[in-house]
């Protein structure tokens, strides 16, 4: 079973993906376009051009998971833009990904900030 934890790196691709691609095609997008290692355990999220579906790709150490969600009505209205940025992907927190899976706006979540360990200052 696929489980998204707060410790996982989650990257949302800015450019839409060709949804005819399966696992191998999206792995190639991760390597070539996003310049990320798809075997590192990060969750990669892609949207189709029309904004009606998303795919999540993650490697769990044994193989790849590919999850596809297509909305019955409407579109995924929120998506990161590349305007004025060189970024090919936007990082999200686990709770923001849950909001995105529900077709919501991850930037409008009112969650507590990520916990950081406190250590002595040097």
- Residue ranges per domain, the chain? 10-106
Tens of pLDDT, residue by residue, the chain (122 residues): 678 888 899 999 999 999 999 999 999 999 999 999 999 999 999 999 999 999 999 999 999 999 999 999 999 999 998 755 668 999 999 999 999 999 999 988 877 766 677 778 76
Per DSSP, what are the bridge partners of residue 53? 70
C-alpha span between 58 and 65 (Å, rounded): 5
**CA-CA-CA-CA torsion sign (34, 18, 51, 44):** negative
C-alpha span between 4 and 16 (Å, rounded): 22
C-alpha span between 13 and 81 (Å, rounded): 9
- pTM value is 0.87
**What pLDDT shows up at residue 109?**
83
The 10 Å Cβ neighbour count of residue 34 is 20
């Amino acid at each position: 079973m696929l489980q998204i934890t707060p410790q996982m790196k989650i990257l949302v691709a800015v450019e839409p993906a060709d949804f005819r691609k399966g696992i191998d095609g999206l792995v190639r997008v991760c390597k070539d376009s996003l310049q990320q290692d798809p075997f590192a355990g990060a969750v990669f999220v892609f949207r189709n051009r029309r904004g009606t579906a998303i795919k999540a790709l993650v490697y769990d150490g044994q193989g790849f998971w590919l999850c596809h969600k297509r909305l019955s009505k409407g579109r995924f209205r929120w998506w990161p833009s590349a305007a004025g940025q060189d970024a090919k992907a936007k990082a999200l927190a686990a709770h923001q990904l849950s909001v995105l899976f529900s077709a919501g706006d991850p930037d409008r979540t009112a969650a507590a900030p990520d916990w950081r360990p406190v250590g002595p200052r040097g």
